[in-house]
Amino acid sequence: MKEITYEQVVETVSELCMSANYYLGEDVIQSLKEGIAKEKSETGVKVLEQLVENAAIASANQVPMCQDTGVAVVFLEVGQEVHITGGDLYQAVNEGVAKGYVEGYLRKSMVNDPLIRKNTNDNTPAVIHTKIVPGDNLTITVAPKGGGSENMSAIKMLPPSAGRQGVIDFVLETVKNAGPNPCPPIVVGVGIGGNFEKAALLAKEALLRPVGSVNPNEELAELEKELLESINKLGIGPQGFGGVVTALDVHVNTFPCHIASLPVAVNINCHAARHKTKTI
Amino acid sequence: MAEKYLKAPLTDQDVSELTIGDQVYISGIIYTARDAAHKRLVELLDKGEELPLELEGQILFYVGPSPAKPGAVIGSAGPTTSYRMDAYTPALLDKGLKGMIGKGSRSQEVKESIVKNKAVYFAAVGGAAALTAQRIKKAEVIAYPDLGPEAIHKLEVENLPVIVVNDSFGRDLYQEGMKKYQS
């Protein structure tokens, strides 16, 4: 049994909160640069250039790439041979989030209650998703998620008869309704199957895949390609000013489901598709 | 697309020369306000009380900046999504507000109020917050410090890059731009 201390978790989460907000992934930067070559709108090209420049400034000065440093969404993959010593794992995660957001000069965007709405002043609590996995490692991913794009996400319980086309229609409808609001070019996470909450989590997890990655299942890879092409024909473009680069990528994750159901969740991420992972 | 340089606050003449798609660089004084500050401003108007700032000709930037690092003027400062301010905006436009900087579509009511009051809605590039912060030369909280990032800041900006989305003639870049590139 491997022992991991409370302090190790605090430090790791704190570092990941800062690095996720300062350093945009190379996959996203590469994709934005490819977008500059593809984009037909002059304004759209300018926007994409500004985003590449912005990522460089954020990383050079170690400041957040976006002022909305998000809800701290934390994924924990806890090896079943791991023993956390010195305190409560979730408390350690929250202490790490507070430390990272305060010491890293990140914006505190969490309110204590959805209706009372008083700022907690340290961006806690985190939204934590935990998986127990084989092995003796603890893998932590911090994925700060901005409010603008999260607000444009949607879930629908389709009848199985709606099938593949029903899924495509719902994804396109969601992206079209979102228009300029979620800061396109967007990354689209689609969760299909499971049940109500599983579909939403699948969509969120799909956003953690690298931009440019393809689903290993051939049919799903084909669906991702078709969705990306269709979204980029909507005309929304960078920031919604019109153009052909509306989405950088579409990732579809699936899970078996009930004979009566076809749940579909669409989680939209802005171009600041931020997440950083570390294994202890 | 035309490039224009403007000094804030704005005049009717400034606004009348802007059309959708123009790239505008704003210099001068602007103010920040987002959800909670808008709510308070409109509550004051409803009660007939004085506002903490004179709105005539002013530009409001919908932003809640991240905290400034030691030695910095301000933290990262990009626009937030504007529709959340729609319910409050016509009342402020009627009081003389001339410009707004945000991102995303406005309601029909806001668009009509923009035309009626000869105002303009600009979009800044959402997420380009580290770049935008470099164009902010001075920042000071002038109202509602208890709101933290949502407090009203007075900003002195130099060549802040924005795009005209809704002009005073009723045109909408989001609608026209999307139509142009639909296939």
**Mean of the per-residue pLDDT values of chain A:** 97
**Beta bridge partners of residue A132, listed in sequence order:** A78
Q: Do A74 and A204 sit in the same domain of this protein?
A: no
Per-residue pLDDT at A277: 98
Q: Do A75 and A177 sit in the same domain of this protein?
A: no
Please write down the HEC assignment for all residues of A76-126: EEEECCEEEECCCHHHHHHHHHHHHHHHCCCCCCCECCCCCCCECCCCCCC
Say how many residues make up chain B: 183
Q: Is A68 on the interface with B (CB under 8 A)?
A: yes
Delineate the domains of chain B, giving CATH numbers in brackets.
34-48+59-181 (3.20.130.10)
Q: Do A97 and A203 sit in the same domain of this protein?
A: no
Per-residue pLDDT at B1: 75
Q: Do A7 and A77 sit in the same domain of this protein?
A: yes
- Rg from Cα positions in chain A: 19
Q: Do A165 and A226 sit in the same domain of this protein?
A: yes
Q: Is A243 on the interface with B (CB under 8 A)?
A: yes
Per-residue pLDDT at A160: 98
- Rg from Cα positions in chain B: 15
Taken in order B78, B168, A179, A34, is the CA torsion positive or negative? negative
Q: Do A207 and A155 sit in the same domain of this protein?
A: yes
CB pair distance less than 8 Å for B178 and A271 = no
**pLDDT tens, residue by residue, A204-254:** 999 999 999 999 999 999 999 999 999 999 999 999 999 999 999 999 999
**Mean of the per-residue pLDDT values of chain B:** 96
Domain boundary residue, one of A145, A163, A183: A145
Q: Do A12 and A89 sit in the same domain of this protein?
A: yes
Residue A43 lies in a domain: no
Q: Is B73 on the interface with A (CB under 8 A)?
A: no
Say how many residues make up chain A: 280
Question: What would the mean pLDDT of A62-68 be, rounded to a whole number?
Answer: 96
Burial tier of A181 (Cβ tally within 10 Å: 0-12, 13-18, 19+): buried
Q: Which residues of A touch B178 (CB under 8 A)?
A: 179, 234-237, 240, 242
Residue A108 lies in a domain: yes
**pLDDT tens, residue by residue, A9-36:** 999 999 999 999 999 999 999 999 999 9
At A231, is the secondary structure helix, strand, or coil? helix
Instruction: Quote the Cα angle for A127-A174-B107, to 5°.
Output: 100
Q: Do A87 and A168 sit in the same domain of this protein?
A: no
Residue A220 lies in a domain: yes
Domain boundary residue, one of A129, A145, A161: A145
Per-residue pLDDT at B92: 97
Is the predicted ipTM greater than 0.85, yes or no? yes
Residue A247 lies in a domain: yes
CB-nearest partner of A233 from B127, B180, B182: B182
Domain boundary residue, one of A145, A174, A196: A145
**pLDDT tens, residue by residue, A83-125:** 999 999 999 999 999 999 999 999 999 999 999 988 999 999 9
User: Mutating which of B39, B76, B159, B182 best tests the A interface, going by the most A Cβ atoms within 10 A?
Assistant: B76
Q: Do A229 and A245 sit in the same domain of this protein?
A: yes
Inform me whether the pLDDT recorded for B32 exceeds 80.
yes
Per-residue pLDDT at A159: 98
Q: Do A266 and A161 sit in the same domain of this protein?
A: yes
Range of the domain at A223: 148-273
B-facing residues of A in 142-161 (CB < 8 A) are 147-148, 151
Q: Percent of chain B scored above 90 by pLDDT?
A: 95
Residue A130 lies in a domain: yes
Residue A29 lies in a domain: no
Q: Do A7 and A118 sit in the same domain of this protein?
A: yes
Alpha-carbon A70 to chain mean position: 10
What confidence category does residue B121 fall into, taking pLDDT thresholds of 50, 70 and 90? very high
Comparing B150 with A133, which gets the higher pLDDT? A133
What is the number of domains present in chain A?
Answer: 2
Per-residue pLDDT at A157: 98
Nearest CA in chain B to A237: B178
Residue A33 lies in a domain: no
Alpha helices in chain A (DSSP H): 6-22, 26-38, 42-61, 89-103, 147-150, 163-178, 196-206, 218-231
Residue A199 lies in a domain: yes
Q: Do A156 and A87 sit in the same domain of this protein?
A: no
Q: Is B159 on the interface with A (CB under 8 A)?
A: no
Per-residue pLDDT at B14: 97
Residue of B38, B103, B106, B111 marked active site: B38
